[in-house]
């Protein structure tokens, strides 16, 4: 059941990433400034790869031996990461805020927080996944 939840949320993040391809293509076609094109490129490619990674990890999860690490320790940070990046990358591209530092305006702070949740969740998820694989060897 845990693997299906991760697969579902990975599919949602993948869908958001694919939908971000629409404004990405429009930005190219309308010869928008390179910063706008780049922001939508990052949203499209980052979210499609992140969602695909979540689906791949979900597919591997049933093959891992039961370890002392609960599957929730893997799933929760990965899902938080996916949605954090979905918020940060799409809203950041739409609003023009990069969220590199947590400075005003509030829109930039929101993008920063989404990026922070995304990065931290991805890091924790990767560490837990590697630990689970190593304990299965």
Residue 68's pLDDT band (cuts 50, 70, 90): low
List C-alpha distances in Å: 128 to 32, 64, 117: 41, 12, 16
- Which residues span the domain enclosing 23? 2-136
Total structural domains in the chain? 1
- Residue 65 pLDDT more than 70? no
Assign 106 to helix, strand or coil: helix
- Residue 70 pLDDT more than 90? no
Could you read off the pLDDT of 20-29 as tens digits, one per residue? 999 999 999 9
Q: Are 9 and 82 in contact (CB under 8 A)?
A: yes
Predicted TM-score (pTM) of this structure: 0.92
List C-alpha distances in Å: 100 to 28, 44, 70, 105: 24, 19, 33, 12
Could you read off the pLDDT of 73-95 as tens digits, one per residue? 999 999 999 999 999 999 999 99
């Amino acid at each position: 059941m845990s693997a299906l939840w991760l697969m579902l949320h990975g599919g949602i993040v993948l869908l958001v990433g694919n939908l971000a391809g629409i404004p990405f293509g429009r930005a190219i076609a309308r010869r928008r400034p390179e910063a706008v094109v780049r922001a939508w490129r990052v949203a499209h490619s980052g979210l499609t790869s992140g969602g695909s990674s979540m689906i791949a990890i979900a597919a591997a999860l049933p093959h891992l031996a039961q370890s002392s690490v609960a599957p929730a320790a893997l799933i929760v940070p990965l899902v938080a990461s996916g949605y954090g990046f979905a918020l940060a990358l799409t809203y950041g591209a739409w609003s023009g805020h990069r969220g590199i530092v947590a400075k005003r305006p509030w829109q930039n702070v929101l993008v920063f927080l989404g990026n922070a949740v995304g990065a931290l969740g991805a890091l924790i998820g990767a560490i837990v996944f590697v630990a689970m694989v190593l304990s299965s060897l």
